[in-house]
Amino acid sequence: MSTVDAPTSHLRENPYDIAREQLQRVATTFDIDANLVNVLGECKKSVEVSVPVGMDDGSTRVFKGYRVTHNVARGPSKGGIRYHADVTRDEIKALAMLMTWKCALMGIPFGGAKGGVVVDPKQLSRSELERMTRRYTSEIINEIGPEKDIPAPDVGTDASVMAWIFDTYSMNKGHSVLGVVTGKPLAIGGSLGREEATARSALYSIRDAAAKQDRSVAGMRVAVQGFGQVGSYLALFLHQEGAIVTAVSDSTTALYNAKGIDVPAAFAHKREFRTLAGLRDAEAITNEELILLDVDVLAPCALEQVITGENADRVRASIVCEGANAPVTPAADAILEDKGVLILPDVLANAGGVVVSYFEWVQGLQEYFWKESEVNAKLNDIVSRAFEETWETARARDVSMRVAAYGVAVQRVAEATITRGIYP
């Protein structure tokens, strides 16, 4: 039996420290009581579990898993499950806090949670992945539930993983519990529009930002880092809106074409071969070079901390749209703000996933499902409203879009906390 430890992390700074620093900055700007900050700066619950899995070769490996709840003042906690070799407890705690602010900014009745397993899912067979998922679910089964804590997909997980979690939980309860997870396949209670939802919110944010600058998405030059569920759909949607997507990348390959990548071809290529490598009519570059391209919009849609104090001064995009969670560090934030770069923060730009997860949860509880056009229209309304609230707050207080978005969100969670009180 072997235990799997995390390798050296891609994270340059402690993400939980960053999350709490951002909270403190917002609290100072918006005059939020220090006692409330003490409450909001801590996670309600953090669970670490051991996940033993029988492998195909007969050996047993033991993976480490987490489930963290940050806050439930506004409703049950909600947040994705991440399978990645670099997962750490502090990363999961930071992402849970971020989810709290995201739900509050969107005005949906959830708090924030997050989960993760320290594993490279690409190194597991499908049967090993299923066994690991079911064992992880069994280990956290007392922590989750449709009125308690609702998981969803994140980096390294997808609808199939959600199906296994749904089935494992339901088998233990003795009946199907549609609301225990979101991001499920359509055949078992998933929602139309869920797969593309995060990319759509990023698209809506870019569209609304362009309109504020008297510009149009059509003709904008865009670089998209990350070609998973968020980045691939965002690149496709931007292409459909007339933008020129000059660069795309996945975990192994970055590609550039000054005249524009054939995004539908890239989308199909990735689906067939599970990599962008080998795509025709594109020049290979590095992910670092992609970040520094001369474009109108840079959309980091992969992992955290890819724009840092070390490279932010060389970023040439005029808009940075955070399709990923926390891809810009606080040091980079300050540099980009000084340069006049408009940052569309993660709690706004990539909130579409949790919004449509909320729609799926509601549909599952009602056992009544909506048309895709209804889902997308409702998503558009919520994201556009949140964008407008953030934009007006930023202008009124002369702060960045990030501080404004966090400020609106933290104030809502603070108000809920005060209204409910602290028991006993």
pLDDT tens digits, one per residue of 265-296: 999 999 999 999 999 999 999 999 999 999 99
Q: Residue 7: pLDDT above 80?
A: no
Give the SS3 label for residue 66. strand
Residue 114 designated active-site = yes
Residue of 64, 78, 93, 114 marked active site = 114
**Residue-range definition of the domain harbouring residue 137:** 2-13+43-176
Residue 237 falls inside a structural domain: yes
Q: 142, 176, 210 — which closes off a domain?
A: 176
Q: Are residues 214 and 123 in the same domain?
A: no
Q: Looking at residue 55, what is its pLDDT?
A: 98
Q: Are residues 134 and 212 in the same domain?
A: no
Q: Would you tell me the crossing angle of helices 372-397 and 352-366 to the nearest 10 degrees? A: 140
pLDDT averaged over every residue in the chain: 95
Position 13 scores a pLDDT of: 87
C-beta of residue 355 within 8 angstroms of C-beta of residue 382: yes
Share of the chain above pLDDT 70, in %: 98
State the pLDDT at residue 140.
Answer: 98
Domain boundary among 320, 349, 378: 349
Hey, what amino acid is at 369?
F
pLDDT at 4: 55
pLDDT at 6 exceeding the cut of 90 = no
Task: Tell me what percent of the residues of the chain surpass a pLDDT of 90.
Answer: 95
298, 317 in Cβ contact below 8 A?
yes
CB 139 within 8 A of CB 105: no
pLDDT at 88 over 90: yes
Checking if the pLDDT of 388 tops 70, the result is yes
pLDDT score of 11: 72
Residue 3 scores a pLDDT above 70 = no
Do 117 and 6 fall into the same domain? yes
- Are 139 and 51 in contact by the 8 Å Cβ rule? The answer is yes
Residue pair 69/111 in contact (Cβ under 8 Å)? The answer is: yes
Looking at residue 12, what is its pLDDT? 75
- Confidence check: pLDDT of 247 > 80: yes
Q: How far is it, in rounded angstroms, from Cα 159 to Cα 167?
A: 12
Write down the pLDDT at residue 2.
Answer: 64
pLDDT per position as a tens digit, 395-414: 999 999 999 999 999 999 99
**Hunting for tokens 């005005």 — which residue is that?**
107
Q: Calculate mean pLDDT across residues 80-88.
A: 96
pLDDT at 424 (0 to 100): 82
7 with 138, same domain: the answer is yes
Are 303 and 327 in contact, with CB atoms under 8 Å apart?
Answer: yes
Q: Look at strands 244-249 and 254-256 and give their pairing.
A: antiparallel
* Residue 148 and residue 62 share a domain: yes
Q: pTM (2 decimals)?
A: 0.94
- Mean pLDDT, range 332-336, rounded to an integer: 96
Q: For residue 273, give the CATH number of its domain.
A: 3.40.50.720
CATH of the domain at 141: 3.40.50.10860
Per-residue pLDDT of 219-242, as tens digits, reads 999 999 999 999 999 999 999 999
Domain end (from 332, 349, 366): 349
**pLDDT at res. 8:** 55
Residues 6+ apart with CB under 8 A from 397: 29, 403, 404, 407
Q: How many domains does the chain have?
A: 2
